[in-house]
């Protein structure tokens, strides 16, 4: 996969997500699904290239650790959405920290996968809030006798549902793309994920050693 081809794919994905953030929730869902499917295809192509490089003793893509911070009233719901999306994408690991009114999502994986995942998550954050406001505009009257907590909880549940929908959509598309990609694709992806898992295990081991040293 040439650099030019890669940039074209990434540019197409970015444009689809940007457009999804500026339209109706219904059209946004279709645009985002298209972007997610292209993202999965790109990730598989990149995994194959990286596997070939690794088998030939060449330098492969780096595993990185990146974070995204969710703040505000719905920070935990957005964190849950992020975890659902990362699990659905399948090639990365997600860790989470919640404290002092914020939720931090840590994403561990190969650099190209993580970069695309963070881009998707930021777009989904915008889309979730737009969709939630549109839903609330239609359904607020149903909670007119409820407390502020009840109303906030209803909006929180909507965002969680939005995240579950994204998870189901991505997981289904990923399975289909893997099947269309042919024999050996699943093995390449399993190998890639195993190396990410080993990296996370090493992170935990290093943290444990650091704690023991401090004690």
- Phi, psi at 70, each rounded to 5°: -110, 130
DSSP letter at 103 equals E
Among 102, 70, 108, smallest CA distance to 202 is for: 108
The partner residues of 107 in beta bridges, in order of sequence, read 66, 94
Residues 6+ apart with CB under 8 A from 124: 32, 81, 85, 162, 163, 166
Query: How far is C-alpha 48 from the geometric centre of its chain's CA atoms?
Result: 20
pLDDT of residue 182: 82
Write down the residue that tokens 């840590």 correspond to: 106
CA distance 20 to 74: 21
CA distance between the termini of the chain: 49
Q: What is the pTM of this model?
A: 0.88
pLDDT of residue 136: 96
pLDDT of residue 176: 92
Residues 6+ apart with CB under 8 A from 145: none
pLDDT of residue 213: 43
CA distance 128 to 117: 16
pLDDT of residue 125: 97
CA distance 38 to 90: 15
pLDDT tens, the chain, 215 aa long = 555 667 788 889 999 999 999 999 899 999 999 999 999 999 998 888 888 887 787 877 899 999 999 999 999 999 999 999 999 999 999 999 998 889 999 999 999 999 999 999 999 999 999 999 999 999 999 999 999 999 999 999 999 999 999 999 999 999 999 999 888 888 899 989 999 999 999 987 665 444 444 43
Question: Strand 102-110 vs strand 63-71: parallel, antiparallel, or unpaired?
Answer: antiparallel
Cα distances from 28 to residues 20, 72, 122, 142, in angstroms, run 4, 23, 14, 26
| Structural tokens at position 3 | 């650099």
Q: Residues 183, 188, 191, 193: is their CA dihedral positive or negative?
A: negative
pLDDT of residue 186: 87
């Amino acid at each position: 996969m040439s650099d030019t081809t890669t940039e074209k794919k990434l540019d197409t994905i970015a444009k689809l997500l940007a457009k999804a953030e500026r339209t109706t929730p219904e059209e946004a869902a279709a645009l985002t699904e298209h972007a997610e499917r292209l993202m999965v295809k790109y990730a598989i192509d990149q995994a194959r290239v990286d596997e070939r490089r690794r088998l030939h003793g060449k330098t492969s893509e780096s595993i990185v650790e990146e974070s995204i911070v969710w703040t505000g009233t719905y920070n935990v719901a957005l964190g849950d959405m992020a975890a659902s999306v990362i699990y659905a994408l399948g090639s990365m690991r997600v860790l989470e920290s919640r404290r002092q009114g914020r939720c931090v999502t840590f994403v561990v994986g190969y650099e190209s996968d993580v970069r695309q995942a963070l881009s998707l998550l930021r777009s989904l954050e915008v889309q979730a809030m737009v969709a939630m406001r549109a839903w609330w505009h239609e359904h607020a009257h149903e909670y007119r006798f409820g407390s502020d907590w009840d109303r906030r909880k209803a909006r929180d549940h909507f965002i969680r549902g939005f995240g579950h929908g994204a998870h189901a959509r991505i997981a289904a598309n990923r399975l289909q793309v893997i099947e269309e990609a042919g024999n050996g694709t699943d093995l390449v992806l399993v190998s890639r994920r195993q190396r990410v898992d080993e990296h996370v295990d090493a992170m935990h081991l290093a943290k444990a050693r650091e704690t023991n040293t401090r004690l």
